Amino acid sequence: SYSSDINALSTKDIEILAQAYYKLALTQSKLAHDSNDFNDKKMYYTNSLINIAESEKLAIRPSVLKEYSNTRLLITKKAQPFLD
């Protein structure tokens, strides 16, 4: 079981956690994309953006942070019509 204190985690565990948030964000973005319901799209895109931001906060390596940031920009662009 993991500690809720991020500082107690190893670098490897933080990278795994960041990747988990990233994959969750991608899944939520896909659910939003595939949904035909406006409110569902809004909910999934909102959650996706929250989780991609978490992954960025946890990213340790610059190349990974860049990938997460670029993905956030793409999700933000796709989500914009549903978040205004």
pLDDT digits (tens, 9 = 90+) for 18-65: 999 999 999 999 999 999 999 999 999 999 999 999 999 999 999 999
Which 8-state DSSP code applies to residue 56? H
Residue 76 pLDDT > 70? yes
At residue 64, φ and ψ (nearest 5 deg) are: -70, -45
Question: 59: helix, coil or strand?
Answer: coil
pLDDT of residue 7: 83
Residue 3: band (very low, low, confident or very high) from pLDDT cuts 50, 70, 90: low
* Both tokens assigned to 10: 């190893």
Quote the CA–CA distance of 72 and 62 in Å, as a whole number: 15
pTM of the model: 0.90
Over residues 3-28, the mean pLDDT reads 92
pLDDT of residue 10: 93
Which has more pLDDT, 48 or 9?
48
Contact assessment for residue 25 and residue 74, using Cβ atoms and an 8 Å cutoff: no
Contact assessment for residue 2 and residue 20, using Cβ atoms and an 8 Å cutoff: no
Residue 80 pLDDT > 90? yes
* Both tokens assigned to 3: 């500690």
